Amino acid sequence: MPLKKLSPLAKRLVNIGFITLTLGVVVLIAFSNSELQDAWGVLFTLSPLWLFACLLGWFAYLLLDATSMYIFFTRQKYKLRFLSALHMSTLGFYYSSITPGASGGQPMQVYYANKKGIPIGVSTSAVAVKFFCSQFAMVFLGGLVWILHNGFVQTQLSGVQFLVILGMCINGIAIPGIVLIGYCRRLVQVCAAFFVRLGARMHIIKDPPAAWASTMRVIDNFHSCMTFVRKDPKTILIQLGTACAQLICFMSITYFVYRAFGFADVSWDKIVTIALLLYISSSYTPLPGASGMSEGGFLLYFKGIFTEGTVSLALLVWRLFTYYIFIIIGAVVTLVNSARGSKDPKRASEFRDEQLRLEREAQRRAEDKDDATDNMSAEG
């Protein structure tokens, strides 16, 4: 049965199965490396202090994400407890981690905010502004550290710098695109309509009305984002600062993993540079958690930094603190929500219905990407 014909529950199981499979592959790589004779022994010699630092880096990343949401809604005169903002961020990361292209996180955050009394338009603007600031921070910091450590990057990423350039282009194009939507909305609509019609004629887009409706939602979201930027530049500066701090904390996890293995030859700023360039290179991968590119990129980018055959074992530890922990914590939070909702049948039913609706929306986005890819491959 084709994946597109599966029910939302079946597709969820497929996603979970895929994530489990990738974890199995990572574990296999970590413990079957012939260059490392006693992987288990090395694993148990890792520094608890630096592993705790990895946990703190992850929590700081989550905390800063919640802070950005809390500040946004507070400045918009909407009351939201900080714990609720933290809950919202946890759910967002969880659903982004288990859906293709990280497509499930933002709809769930909008839904949760709406349950807390925040209008959908305001919460949609919040996630749109946050996305814009995150993309800008990623490209800006990535370009900055590349320039500052150009010699080290050329040596460490010799032959694969084109992957970073590709990632920069794909992630960077969103920034002028969002600005264009804000200032030249009519022009963007005309261009979008042209490409939707062209895609339909080439049989890349199979449902033009649905594609156009989805495109207009995106245009409306980012138009409201840029309208907000013009009205409240101070909040945008706060969001940009928070996004930069988030990235630094998240990229520092790689350095903490490096130190946990007992290495100290490569400085923090150089490790963070390579980690950020890897993040940029893999972030556009449509699979859950950017799987495949993340693991392969780590082995490629950090070869020679993690010496003595430890790079494959470092991959397992790194992936735990930068990906699997979001799934573990998010799953616990979701189960707790379900348990609480089960005490109220009406609330439980609403929760399940909304969860399925959000999954269908996320899967529909992923299927649109798959349709385009499949048709272009067939025509090629």
Give per-residue pLDDT as tens, 176-188.
777 776 677 777 7
Residue 143 near residue 280 (C-beta atoms within 8 A): no
pLDDT score at 3: 46
Contact 261, 310 (CB under 8 A): yes
User: How much is the pLDDT for 379?
Assistant: 44
If one counts every other C-beta atom within 10 angstroms of the C-beta of residue 172, the result is 18
C-beta pairs of 226-235 under 8 Å, 24+ apart in sequence? 226/178, 226/179, 226/181, 226/182, 226/183, 227/182, 228/125, 228/129, 229/129, 229/132, 229/182, 230/182, 232/75, 235/71, 235/72, 235/75, 235/129
Query: Please, which residues bridge with residue 306 across strands?
Result: 303
Across-strand partners of 303? 306
Confidence of residue 367 (pLDDT cuts 50, 70, 90): low
Give the lowest-confidence range in 207-211, 362-366, 372-376.
372-376
- Min mean pLDDT across 10-24, 201-215, 359-373 is at 359-373
Mean pLDDT of the chain: 81
Show the CA angle centred on residue 142, arms to residues 52 and 249, nearest 5°.
20
Q: What is the 3-state secondary structure (H, E, C) of 96-140?
A: HHHCHHHCCHHHHHHHHHHHCCCCHHHHHHHHHHHHHHHHHHHHH
Query: Residues with Cβ < 8 Å from 203, sequence gap 6 or more?
Result: 375
What are the extents of the domains in the chain? 3-371
330-356: string of b/e by CB count within 10 Å (b at 16+)?
Answer: beeebeebeeebeeeeeebeebeebbe
Question: Which residue has 């701090």 as its token pair?
Answer: 245
**Contact by Cβ (8 Å): 375, 206:** no
Closest Cα to residue 211, out of 45, 49, 369, 12?
369
Mean pLDDT of 101-110: 75
Q: How much is the average pLDDT of 283-296?
A: 78
Instruction: Report the distance separating Cα 154 and Cα 378, nearest Å.
Output: 37
pLDDT tens, 44-88?
899 999 999 999 999 999 999 999 999 988 887 888 899 999 999
Please count the other Cβ atoms lying within 10 Å of the Cβ belonging to residue 194: 10
* Amino acid 350: pLDDT: 53
Please tell me whether the overall predicted TM-score, pTM, comes out greater than 0.85 for this model: no
Q: Is 306's pLDDT higher than 60? A: yes
Specify the range with the lowest mean pLDDT, choosing from 92-101, 170-179, 216-225, 302-311: 216-225
Contact between 43 and 313 under an 8 Å Cβ cutoff? The reply is yes
